[in-house]
A and B are shown apart, each in its own frame.
Chain A
Amino acid sequence: MEYVLETKNINKHFYKPKDFHVLKDISFGVKVGEFASIMGKSGSGKSTLLYILSTMDTDYTGELYLNHELVTGRSHQELSRIRNKHIGFVFQFHYLLSEFSVLENVMLPAKKLNEKSHADIKRDAMQKLEMLHIDYLAQQRASRISGGEKQRVAIARALINNPIILMGDEPTGNLDSQNSDNVFNIFKRLKEEEGLSLLVVTHDEDFAQRTDRIIQMEDGRII
């Protein structure tokens, strides 16, 4: 099967407070339509790896391919564009823009991408919200909704530009079990119905067991 995301020999050091080799020769890939999870103890480097894969962290050696294209070494401007168009991201702490409405939050990345008309973007955003059963929240201020709802809004925002891969950094880490389940089911459905590739860093054993593949990390290596 084809890889949507692939790394070759990625190494990373933290230099402060002292030299620390945090990632050691990471080479792996995520296949199209695969739901993979990364597990490991705190400090094993799993989040660090995820942020390199997300193109936000550029301070590493090795090669990162997205859709078979080399991403390593591109300018910040280009990387922003790639993140905007091809990568959806969900964080542990929902991170919505609190002063904007739910709908505006979801629309924002698409407005930045600027490939569709305002009306089309709005229709797409409503459709994503409907799919996640939170369309009734559209006009609410993002600061006024509950944690589980926020995470679903964040997922809708991550999906707005129809990315090729969705990444999550402990997306259920801050949610109760019912909401965790909910988020997992959404992810599962996205994989099955839309053929989306997913890569999720998690601490949650149950969550990881239900994914297609578990990538175990220890001391900066994949085992």
Chain B
Amino acid sequence: MTNWSVILNIAKTHLVTKVKSTATAALGITFGIGAYITLISFMTGLNVMLDGLILNQTPHIHLYNEIEPSESQPISLYDEFQNSVNIVHSIKPRRSQKKIHNALPILSYLKKDKEVKGATPQLRAQIFYLSGSIELSGNLVGIDIMEETRLSNMGDYIIQGSPQALKNTENGILLGSGLAEKMSLSVGDRVQISTVSGDIFPLKIVGFYQSGVADVDNIQSFANLKTVQRILGEAQNYITDINIRLFNIEGAPAMAKRLQKQFDIKATDINEANAQFETGSNIRNLITYAVSITLLIVAGFGIYNILNMLIYEKMKDIAILKATGFSGRDVQLIFMSQAMIIGVVGGVLGLLLGFGLSHIIDNVAFETAALPTIKTYPISFDISYYVVGLTFALLSTFIAGWLPSVKAKHIDPVRIIRGT
């Protein structure tokens, strides 16, 4: 049986008459939460951007033929030496084809799989870019450009030209931006490439590609799959790599294992390829939370202090309330509701402050050659941070209010009234 309207009315009157202390306590929470929201939004925005820089260009599962030595050497097949110690020196990698065996059936099998968002064929070729008498070594990757742009954010990294332009131009090439700069080429120009075996082909530049990683942009270019197959003089089923995107990235390791067994092929998943990025993100998050919690603890001590002072000031009021029939629990609720009001007001203002600051940072110009798609500082506006922020605010004010309010609950009215 708690009469909330009376309790809240008393709490409100106390807060309003002590508006300065109330504001100080609430501002502590506001800055704590505001800083938390700003920090976490900024940090996460950066994390997402940095992860995206590499991870979005990495397929969830990558199928290819690895060049590696045979696991069992011929001698182990020979029964007579079965119980002997065999030592084979300087083992060479096994001679095997670079192309994926049965690539087209594998592709159509993958496209039917419900977990798979898409699978794209690639053909990687070693080539030389010819510029006058200079030969620059590099890669030419044959791709299905429309599928690639659908499945990854590759389109974001085409800084000039468009995916359609490549699709529509049979001899088109998307040149790496580093290469374009070295050879002073622009869109519409022709560039000559030469294969390892010495055949020379002219290709028309339909656009520039800039991944943000200089080592890639200085050597890698893209062309249509068919074009590259023709350059190499290979058939239409000549594919060296298959990239798979899944609907659910968590399923990548299990599926990679399965495919490796099923097709007798090398399959690497995204976690294996990019384990270090996960670690980096986790540590950045840890730092953000450590800083935010420190801020909130400081704010919590502020509330604790102010409520403690308030209770000393209100000793007589507490005694009188108890004498006129308010129970210890009622008195505790009065002070707890004061703490919670401070927490809610401070917390909500903090969320607004955090949102405002994030919004300002989001509009600050941030341009760098390495990141063609980024024009302003990246910010993550994830609603869950706001939920966590408000929870933090309520939790810290609850804890900060608890001890003083318990003290108020146990104040003996007789001692106060008799003045002993």
Contact = CB atoms under 8 A, between A and B. Distances in A.
B15 to A, nearest CB: 10
A11 interface: no
A131 interface: no
A197 interface: no
Contacts, number: 68
Contacts of A99: 13-14, 17
A56 B326 contact: no
Given A56-B413, A95-B417, A157 B323 contact: no
Contacts of B40: none
Interface in B1-50: 1, 3, 5-6, 13-14, 17
A83 B325 contact: yes
Given A56-B413, A100-B13, A114-B3, A108 B324 contact: yes
Nearest to A47: B418
B323 A112 contact: no
Contacts of B321: 97, 108
Interface in A86-110: 89, 91, 95-100, 108-109
A109 B324 contact: yes
Interface residues of B, number: 25
Nearest to B326: A112
Contacts of B5: 111
Contacts of B234: none
Interface in B307-335: 316-317, 319-330
Given A51-B414, A84-B324, A113-B325, A95 B316 contact: yes
Interface stretch (A31-39, A74-82, A205-213, A214-222): A74-82
Contacts of B319: 95
Chain B at the A interface: SS class: helix
Contacts of A84: 324-326
A54 B323 CA distance: 8
A77 B332 CA distance: 13
A67 to B, nearest CB: 16
B327 A108 contact: no
Contacts of A47: 418
B325 A112 contact: yes
Nearest to A114: B3
A111 B3 contact: yes
A223 B254 CA distance: 94
B328 A112 contact: no
Interface string B401-420: 00000000000011001100
A97 B320 contact: yes
Contacts of A89: 323-324
Contact of B328 (A51, A76, A109, A114): A76
Given A95-B319, A95-B320, A99-B17, A109 B414 contact: no
Contacts of B323: 54, 56, 83, 89, 91, 95
A56 B417 CA distance: 11
Interface of A: 47, 51, 54, 56-57, 76-77, 80-81, 83-85, 89, 91, 95-100, 108-109, 111-114, 157, 161, 169
15 contacts: A51-B414, A54-B323, A56-B413, A80-B322, A89-B323, A89-B324, A99-B14, A100-B13, A108-B6, A108-B321, A108-B324, A111-B3, A111-B5, A112-B326, A112-B330
